[in-house]
Structure 1
C-alpha cells in the first residue's frame, strides 16, 4: 500500500503517506526504510518526499533498456542541475516522439513545467529530437523522416518556425547540440547534448531555461560546454557499466 501511494503521487512525505493509507507514521517510516533497502524507494532530500526508484519498473513488463540509462544518467543530471539551477531532462526516442524519461524539474528553483516525466513531444520541433536526427546516419535519418511525415502529415521539405530543417540540422552538427529557441513552448528554450553508445545517439540530456530570463545566444554561451561534458560523462559510464557486465547490451534508437 505504501509503495502504491508513493508511486501514484510520484512522491509523498511520510505524513502524507500516513494520512492517505491510515498507517501510523512510525510504521510508515520503518516500512519506507525497508523499501529503501530493497532499492524500491528513495528519499528526496530537497523536498523530504519519498519517491519510487527505477527499480520499481523492473516489477512490470514495461521495463526497458532506457531504464539502465536513467540509473546511470540521473546522478550526472542532478550534479549539473545544482550548478546551473535550470532543470535538466533525460530524453529518448519512442513511438515517433521524444519522451522525457527523467527530470530534475522537481528540484530546480527555476522550473516552469513540473510533471515532465513521461511527457511525449514532437521530434522536429524539440532540441532532443533535432540532436537525434542530426547525428543519425543519413539513410536512417531519411527513413525516420519519411515515417514522421506519414505519422504527422508534414511533408518535405520540412520548414519549421525557425527555418529549414536541413539548415537547422547542419547547425546542430556544428554546435554539437540540438536547440529549440522558443517556438514549441514559447516560455522556454532548450539545448540537448547527445548521449553516445556504440557510435549512435542513444538518448539526450536537455537543459531548459526561461526565455524571459535569458536569451538563446547567452544560454548557449553559458551552458553548452557544461552540457556536452555531462553527456560525455554519461556516455562514458554507460560503456563502463556494459563492459563490467552491469547492464545488458542496448538496442540503438530507431
Structure 2
C-alpha cells in the first residue's frame, strides 16, 4: 500500500475538528453535513474528540465547541509570528476609524486562514470570525487574491473586491475588499476588509476605504521587511501546492 494514502478515519476526524473550530459551536447534525458523513459516523467522531478533550458539549444546548486544548495544539506553530505582531495594532487603528472589521490571512494547505482579525471590536458588523477561521482558497476573496498573486497577475498596489461574497461566516450578506501584502517581491498575506451589503456597496467602499487599506498593507510590508529575509515565497508556494490553478483577473 502506498505510504501516501491517508487514513480515512483520521482525515474525517480532522475535518470535523476544523469545522467545529471554524464555527465556534455547532450541532452534531451540522457537523455531519459539513464533513459529509452519515450521522452515526459523525457521532463516533464527535465522541472520540470529546474523550480526547478536544471538544466539549455545551450542557444547556445540543452544541459542541472546541476546548483550550485545541489552542494548545498550535503552541509550537511559530510561522509568521512577526506578521501577527506587526499587523495587530495597524488593523486595530483601521477598525477604530472605520468601524468595519479587517483581517490578515495566509494560504495554508488549500485554505485561507485568518491570522489576525478585528471582528471582535468592529461596531458595524457583528460576526464571530476570529483568528484560525479558514475558508477554501477558491471560494474566498483573499484566497482568489492569493491565487492571482501566485500567478503573477496581481502586483503590489492591486486589489480584489467582490459584492455579496465576503470573507466570514455569512459571505452572501457581506462584501469584501482584499489587498496583497508583498515583502521583497513575494506574496506574504492578504489584508481584507469585510462589510455588510445592506449598508455599503463595493462601488462606495472602494474610494472610501481602498487607499487606507493599501497604506495599511504597505505599512505591514515595510515593518516585515525589516525583520525577515527575502524568502516570502512559502506563502505563494502554499497556494500553488493546494491544487488550484492560477486565475487571471481583469
> SS at the partner of 2:139?
coil
Q: Deviations over 1:182-207 (max 9, x none)?
A: 14611110111111122111111111
Q: Deviations over 1:32-72 (max 9, x none)?
A: xxxxxxxxxxxxxxxxxxxxxxxx979932x2322221111
The residue that corresponds to 1:87 in the other structure is 101
The residue that corresponds to 1:190 in the other structure is 176
The residue that corresponds to 1:73 in the other structure is 87
**Separation in structure 1 between the aligned mates of residue 102 and residue 165 of structure 2, nearest angstrom:** 19
**Where does the alignment leave 5 or more consecutive residues of structure 2 unmatched?**
1-23, 25-70, 239-250
Q: Kindly tell me: are residues 175 and 210 of structure 1, through their superposed partners in 2, closer, same or farther at Cα, counting changes over 3 Å?
A: farther
**Separation in structure 1 between the aligned mates of residue 114 and residue 95 of structure 2, nearest angstrom:** 16
Of 105, 110, 126, the match for 2:140: 126
Of 212, 215, 224, the match for 1:238: 224
Q: Deviations over 1:67-114 (max 9, x none)?
A: 221111111111111111100111110110101111111111112311
Q: Deviations over 1:162-218 (max 9, x none)?
A: xxxxxxxx6x66981122311461111011111112211111111111101011111
The residue that corresponds to 2:243 in the other structure is none
* Contact persistence 2:175–2:202 (CA under 8 A): yes
Matched, 1:102 2:116: yes
**Separation in structure 1 between the aligned mates of residue 142 and residue 111 of structure 2, nearest angstrom:** 10
> SS at the partner of 2:223?
helix
* Contact persistence 2:157–2:180 (CA under 8 A): no
Q: 1:241 Cα shift?
A: 2.3
How many residue pairs get matched? Answer: 163
**Separation in structure 2 between the aligned mates of residue 132 and residue 209 of structure 1, nearest angstrom:** 20
**Separation in structure 2 between the aligned mates of residue 57 and residue 237 of structure 1, nearest angstrom:** 28
**Separation in structure 2 between the aligned mates of residue 137 and residue 76 of structure 1, nearest angstrom:** 28
* Contact persistence 1:126–1:180 (CA under 8 A): no
The residue that corresponds to 2:41 in the other structure is none
Matched, 1:227 2:241: no
Q: Kindly tell me: are residues 109 and 173 of structure 1, through their superposed partners in 2, closer, same or farther at Cα, counting changes over 3 Å?
A: same
Of 162, 170, 186, the match for 1:180: 162
| TM-score normalized with structure 2 length | 0.58
**Separation in structure 2 between the aligned mates of residue 128 and residue 192 of structure 1, nearest angstrom:** 6
> SS at the partner of 2:172?
coil
Q: Kindly tell me: are residues 213 and 238 of structure 1, through their superposed partners in 2, closer, same or farther at Cα, counting changes over 3 Å?
A: same
**Separation in structure 2 between the aligned mates of residue 217 and residue 175 of structure 1, nearest angstrom:** 18
The residue that corresponds to 1:200 in the other structure is 186
**Separation in structure 1 between the aligned mates of residue 140 and residue 175 of structure 2, nearest angstrom:** 9
| TM-score normalized with structure 1 length | 0.58
Of 47, 60, 72, the match for 2:75: 60
* Contact persistence 2:156–2:180 (CA under 8 A): no
